């Protein structure tokens, strides 16, 4: 199909004359290019997104819930719909740098994130984890954050495996609103119990 596109929209693929690139459609996810290029990644403590986000409104920062030492925020570049990050307010790079209070609240927020996403979207499972250091894959290595990625049976299909594209069925602001409402409801129910 690429041959039908105007030259300005064609994607050059080296050493692929008549190969796979000539038969595959390209689905564009231009929002990912900012991440790939490193736009918005911190250059120092003064511009760390995980330090800046708590100073924003919940809606603008995509914050789902705030705790005493930890907050939950939607990932701006999600692997799946509902991909949350659980982040300590304190700017520390390593899990071993957390206080006992921060570790406890991080654990509680992880459980709350799983319960909330399950209630809202019926997730079948989760990938929970953190990459410690840039060598381990941390995109923002200087500020610890834990990922909670919801998974569904069959979510690894043609699109991510062959198409190398994730399909997100909802804009982040709508996802944030649903999760924040469900999180608040669950928290209120626990306090009443």
- Residue 125 pairs in a beta bridge with 151
Cβ atoms of residues 88 and 100 within 8 Å: no
Torsion of CA 166, 169, 173, 174, to 10 degrees: -150
Contact 73, 84 (CB under 8 A): yes
To the query of whether residue 83 is one of the catalytic residues in this protein, the response is: no
Q: List residues bridging with 146 in a β-sheet.
A: 86
And the tokens for 193? Answer: 């119990």
- Closest-CA residue to 145 (of 98, 182, 79, 81): 98
| Cβ–Cβ < 8 Å for 75, 148 | no
Spot the catalytic one: 83, 91, 124, 145: 145
Helices (H), the chain: 31-37, 49-52, 58-61, 100-121, 158-161, 172-192
Residues serving a catalytic function are 145
């Amino acid at each position: 199909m690429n041959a039908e596109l105007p030259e300005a929209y064609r994607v050059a693929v080296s050493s692929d004359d008549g190969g796979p690139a000539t038969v595959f459609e390209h689905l564009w996810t231009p929002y990912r290019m900012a991440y790939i290029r490193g736009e918005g990644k911190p250059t120092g403590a003064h511009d760390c997104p995980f330090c800046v986000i708590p100073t924003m409104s919940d809606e603008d920062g995509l914050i789902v819930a705030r705790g005493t030492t930890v907050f939950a925020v939607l990932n701006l570049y999600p692997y799946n719909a509902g991909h949350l990050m659980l982040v300590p307010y304190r700017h520390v790079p390593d899990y071993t740098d957390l206080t006992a209070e921060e570790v406890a609240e991080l654990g509680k927020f992880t459980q709350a994130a799983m319960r909330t996403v399950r209630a809202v979207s019926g997730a079948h499972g989760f990938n929970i984890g953190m990459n410690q250091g840039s060598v381990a894959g941390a995109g923002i290595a200087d500020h610890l954050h834990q990922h909670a990625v919801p998974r569904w049976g069959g979510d690894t299909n043609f699109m991510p495996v062959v198409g190398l594209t994730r399909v997100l069925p909802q804009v982040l602001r709508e996802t944030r609103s649903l999760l924040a409402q469900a999180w608040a409801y669950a928290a209120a129910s626990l306090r009443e119990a």
